């Protein structure tokens, strides 16, 4: 365990005026209060507060924050009281310790509606003093570093909580290094097979190409020396979870991912940043569409840097970040840079965001969300996404999350504009409303009187503001229809567990889920904001967990009228768990497409044929065929192992077709029968981990789409 002298030495290295007496007393008090307590690993419990203090000292935090870390569990887990901490260490530290205690007591993994209220409390605590959250994040980081000593089920719970709440919150605060480490530690628990697969691929890649990072770093230093620019150059491989997320987003295998290496160039001045950019682009070819200037358009958490991707040595794509030292300090510590020291003095980093102003700007946008679920969704959306900057026809800059659509843009201007939106022009060209906007584009929204939000928009938009406005409008317009549909869903769900969906039962469920009344519960159930299983679980949790019958395939999709049949579109082959929409064909039922299917563009001008659908909650049978395109090495026994791997995942191969045969590899299409999207991911992960699989992807072919027009 780190001693008091070692901790104080680290703090005094960046803050020679540190209050050594305060830190030493906090260390001694915490050690005495936790005497006789032990962690799951068997270590003395006080090793944890000391480790948290060391993490914060590495971020060069002030004395009050370091002392709070040493004391952060004393009020909760020992006989120490608030008044005793205040008397010994002052009101400031007592308030911080009390704030951390309250955050620790929030059960963030509890019921969904309660979780939303906990988020409100979490942001209230942050608004009083952001250092409370800095201590809590460091507390979570150390717990994740030592998570192996916990029970397996507790590990999974903490890892999910970390991935869903604490990692994105660290990123939203600009602490990117902490976000990446938290994500990777959670990833190690939640999907160890996938992480190990990526690590094995890295080892293989290093054996094949040598130390690519050192080679490219050396090349960059030479180019900067030629240009007469003094700068620090460093590089690293991206973390396994970051690579995994790219693989999922781009639906690509490891071998097809390009930018798995990142390089950073830190300069003396802002002008040098742009000189470096010129030197890099002059030496290496820039990749189109991969340039972002966060110096001229900073992120809301104060982040400033130039990002570009170039084709480096041997044609490998590498990401390059260019920034000044001040920008780098903010990029490393985010909002925490407000408390940083330099040469023993508290210095004001001109790029650091004022914590009070930052948290106020975040909470103000969420104050009008009275609905618990919508508040939670809005908070998570606010925290997760990077931003893009688009322009209105008047030249106003509109900030949106990455992946935002013209509908999000319209609602960002005004709710009335969003609700009346019927089309959009991007850079003067008419585009579908589900188009993903990019940095620097000009967006012109086309509106029409009498237009109202469409149900399919919910799955298209990404901002909390747009989702909330659309849902409010749909609830008002379709409330009666949703109540009737919800009543039918509730009846079936309760019958499945041998109960009746009486008015009293529904009223009790509404009360448990913190809803106004049973009509509100049914309306949300009918609009897919609640699942039937959640309603049953609210009253009969044990029965809900035991209910595991397979979903009747004639009722696998919700949203159809009684006389409508359906079948899955062959172009995108949607599976349960994916967002879907239906296209009607007169006399032929409804064709179900994934919401991002390219074939849907053909029906943009026929909104009357669109049907809002979602999958029935529950266990689906493994009858949903998905075509996988796989490249494998041409070696003895490889094909047999591939078939065995698929079988081990309880999936059936219904067809197989070789589409390319070469001396060194085969490319084939395999039709696999699956239950849902999770089943699909497990199969693809198992194949991706096989060393003889060069690439694997899910085949989606718009040319397979049904094109028969609806009959009049």
Domain residue limits, the chain: 4-190, 193-346, 385-462, 548-712
Burial of 441 (0-12, 13-18, 19+ CB in 10 A): middle
Measured distance CA(364)–CA(360) in Å, rounded = 6
666: its two tokens: 């085969």
Measured distance CA(312)–CA(486) in Å, rounded = 56
- Work out the pLDDT band at 113, boundaries 50, 70, 90: very low
- Give the contacts of 653 (CB within 8 A, at least 6 positions apart): 643, 646, 647, 670, 671, 672, 673
User: Is it the case that residue 66 has pLDDT exceeding 90?
Assistant: yes
Are 275 and 229 within 8 A, CB to CB?
yes
Q: Which of these ranges, 61-75, 417-431, 494-508, has the smallest mean pLDDT? A: 494-508
User: Is it the case that residue 43 has pLDDT exceeding 70?
Assistant: yes
SS3 673: strand
- Work out the pLDDT band at 571, boundaries 50, 70, 90: very high
User: Is it the case that residue 201 has pLDDT exceeding 70?
Assistant: yes
Residues with active-site annotation: 76-77
- CATH class of the domain comprising 193-346: alpha beta
Measured distance CA(362)–CA(4) in Å, rounded = 38
SS3 632: strand
554: its two tokens: 């004639």
Average pLDDT over residues 365-384: 51
Q: Which of these ranges, 193-197, 309-313, 413-417, 695-699, has the smallest mean pLDDT? A: 309-313
SS3 520: helix
DSSP for 78-120?
A: SS--HHHHHHHH-HHHHHHHHHHHHHHHS-TTS-HHHHHHHHH
Greatest distance between any 2 Cα atoms in the chain = 86
DSSP for 339-404?
A: G-EETTEE---TTSPPHHHHHHHHHHTTTT--SHHHHHHHHHHHHH--EEEEE-TT--EEEEETT-
Q: Which of these ranges, 64-78, 128-142, 203-217, 458-472, has the smallest mean pLDDT? A: 203-217
Q: Taking the CB of residue 542, how many other CB atoms lie within 10 A of it?
A: 9
Average pLDDT over residues 166-193: 85
Q: Which residue has 């507790």 as its token pair? A: 154
Q: What is the pLDDT of residue 382?
A: 52
Model confidence over 275-324: pLDDT tens digits?
999 999 999 888 887 788 889 888 766 788 999 988 866 667 788 999 99
CATH number for the domain formed by residue range(s) 548-712: 3.30.70.260
Q: CA 173 from chain center: how many Å? A: 15
Q: Which residue has 């309306």 as its token pair? A: 523
Measured distance CA(262)–CA(180) in Å, rounded = 13
Does residue 335 or residue 198 have the better pLDDT?
Answer: 198
Q: Which long-range contacts (CB under 8 A, 24 or more apart) does 452-455 make?
A: 452/419, 452/477, 453/418, 453/419, 454/607, 454/610, 454/612, 455/612
Cα separations in angstroms, 525 against 448, 487, 620: 31, 8, 20
* Homologous superfamily in CATH for domain 4-190: Hypothetical protein af1432 (1.10.3210.10)
> Would you mind telling me the total number of residues written for the chain in this entry?
712
- Work out the pLDDT band at 551, boundaries 50, 70, 90: confident
Cα separations in angstroms, 441 against 298, 390, 418, 478, 561: 17, 5, 18, 35, 41
Are 592 and 567 within 8 A, CB to CB?
yes
Measured distance CA(643)–CA(647) in Å, rounded = 6
Cα separations in angstroms, 299 against 169, 214, 323, 358: 15, 30, 14, 11
Measured distance CA(650)–CA(680) in Å, rounded = 11
Are 94 and 82 within 8 A, CB to CB?
yes
Q: Which residue has 């995108």 as its token pair? A: 572
Q: What is the pLDDT of residue 111?
A: 44
- Give the contacts of 218 (CB within 8 A, at least 6 positions apart): none
Model confidence over 589-627: pLDDT tens digits?
899 999 888 888 888 888 888 888 888 877 888 889 999
Report the run of H or E that residue 445 belongs to, with start and end: strand 443-447
Are 75 and 66 within 8 A, CB to CB?
no
Average pLDDT over residues 378-385: 51
- Work out the pLDDT band at 418, boundaries 50, 70, 90: very high
- According to DSSP, the residues that pair with 582 across neighbouring strands are 592, 611
Q: What is the pLDDT of residue 622?
A: 87
Radius of gyration of the chain (CA): 28
Q: What is the pLDDT of residue 5?
A: 93
Number of helices followed by number of strands (H, E) in the chain: 28, 22
Give the CATH architecture of domain 385-462: Roll (3.10)
Q: Which of these ranges, 59-68, 114-123, 156-165, 333-342, has the smallest mean pLDDT? A: 114-123
User: Is it the case that residue 347 has pLDDT exceeding 60?
Assistant: no
Measured distance CA(136)–CA(166) in Å, rounded = 9
Residue 420: which of 464, 491, 372, 469 has the closest Cα?
A: 469
Q: What is the pLDDT of residue 1?
A: 82
């Amino acid at each position: 365990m780190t001693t008091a002298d070692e901790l104080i030495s680290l703090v005094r290295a960046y803050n020679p005026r540190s209050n050594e007496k305060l830190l030493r007393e906090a260390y001694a008090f915490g050690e005495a209060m936790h005497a006789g307590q032990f962690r799951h690993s068997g270590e003395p419990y006080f090793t944890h507060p000391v480790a948290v203090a060391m993490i914060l000292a590495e971020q060069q935090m002030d004395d009050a924050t370091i002392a709070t870390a040493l004391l952060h569990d004393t009020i909760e887990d020992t006989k120490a009281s608030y008044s005793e901490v205040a008397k010994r260490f002052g009101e400031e530290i007592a308030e911080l310790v009390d704030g951390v205690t309250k955050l620790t007591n929030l059960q963030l993994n509890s019921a969904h509606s309660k979780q939303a209220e906990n988020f409100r409390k979490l942001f209230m605590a942050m608004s009083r003093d952001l250092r409370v959250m800095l201590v809590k994040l460091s507390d979570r980081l150390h717990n994740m570093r030592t998570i192996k000593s916990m029970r397996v089920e507790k590990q999974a719970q903490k890892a999910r909580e970390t991935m869903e709440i604490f990692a994105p919150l660290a990123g939203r605060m600009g602490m990117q290094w902490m976000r990446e480490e938290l994500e990777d530690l959670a990833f190690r628990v939640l999907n160890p097979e996938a992480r190990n697969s990526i690590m094995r691929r890295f080892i293989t890649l290093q054996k094949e190409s040598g130390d690519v990072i050192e080679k490219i770093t050396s090349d960059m230093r030479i180019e900067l020396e030629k240009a007469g620019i003094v700068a620090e150059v460093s590089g690293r491989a991206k973390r396994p979870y970051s690579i995994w997320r790219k693989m999922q987003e781009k639906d690509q295998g490891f071998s097809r991912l390009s930018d798995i290496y990142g390089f950073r160039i830190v300069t003396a001045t802002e002008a040098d940043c742009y000189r470096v950019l010129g030197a890099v682009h002059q030496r290496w070819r820039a990749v189109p569409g991969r340039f972002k200037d966060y110096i001229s358009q900073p992120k809301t958490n104060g982040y400033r840097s130039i990002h570009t991707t170039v084709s480096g040595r041997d044609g490998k794509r590498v990401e390059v970040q260019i920034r000044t030292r001040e920008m780098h300090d903010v990029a490393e510590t985010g909002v925490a840079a407000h408390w940083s020291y330099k040469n023993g003095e508290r210095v004001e980093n001109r790029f650091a965001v004022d914590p009070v102003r930052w948290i106020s700007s975040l909470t103000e946008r969420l104050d009008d969300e009275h609905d618990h679920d919508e508040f939670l969704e809005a908070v998570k959306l606010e925290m997760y996404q990077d931003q893009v900057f688009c322009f209105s026809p008047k030249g106003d800059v509109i900030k949106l999350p990455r992946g935002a659509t013209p509908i999000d843009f319209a609602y960002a201007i005004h709710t009335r504009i969003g609700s009346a939106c019927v089309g959009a022009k991007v850079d003067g060209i008419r585009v579908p409303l589900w188009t993903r906007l990019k940095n620097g584009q000009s967006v012109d929204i086309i509106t029409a009187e009498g237009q109202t939000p469409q149900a399919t928009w919910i799955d298209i938009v990404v901002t909390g503001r747009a989702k909330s406005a659309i849902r409010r409008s749909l609830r008002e317009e379709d409330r009666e229809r949703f109540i009737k549909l919800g009543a039918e869903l509730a009846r079936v769900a309760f019958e499945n567990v041998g109960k009746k969906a009486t008015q009293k039962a529904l009223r009790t469920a509404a009360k448990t889920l913190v809803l106004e009344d049973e009509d509100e519960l049914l309306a949300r159930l009918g609009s897919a904001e609640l699942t039937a299983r959640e309603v049953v679980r609210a009253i009969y949790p044990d029965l809900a967990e035991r209910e595991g019958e397979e979903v009747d395939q004639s009722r696998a999709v919700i949203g159809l009228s009684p006389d409508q049949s359906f079948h899955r579109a062959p172009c995108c082959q949607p599976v349960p768990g994916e967002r879907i929409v239906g296209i009607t064909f007169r006399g032929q039922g409804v064709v179900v497409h994934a919401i991002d299917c390219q074939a849907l563009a053909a029906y943009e001008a026929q909104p009357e044929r669109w049907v809002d659908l979602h999958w029935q909650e529950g266990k689906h049978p493994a009858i949903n065929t998905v075509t996988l395109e796989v490249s494998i090495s041409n070696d003895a026994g490889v094909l047999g192992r591939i078939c065995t791997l698929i079988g081990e995942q309880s999936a059936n191969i219904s067809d197989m077709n070789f589409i390319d045969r070469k001396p060194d590899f085969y490319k084939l299409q395999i039709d696999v029968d699956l239950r849902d999207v999770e089943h699909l991911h497990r199969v693809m992960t198992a194949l991706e981990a096989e060393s003889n699989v060069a690439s694997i992807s899910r085949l989606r072919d718009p040319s397979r789409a049904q094109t028969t027009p609806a009959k009049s």
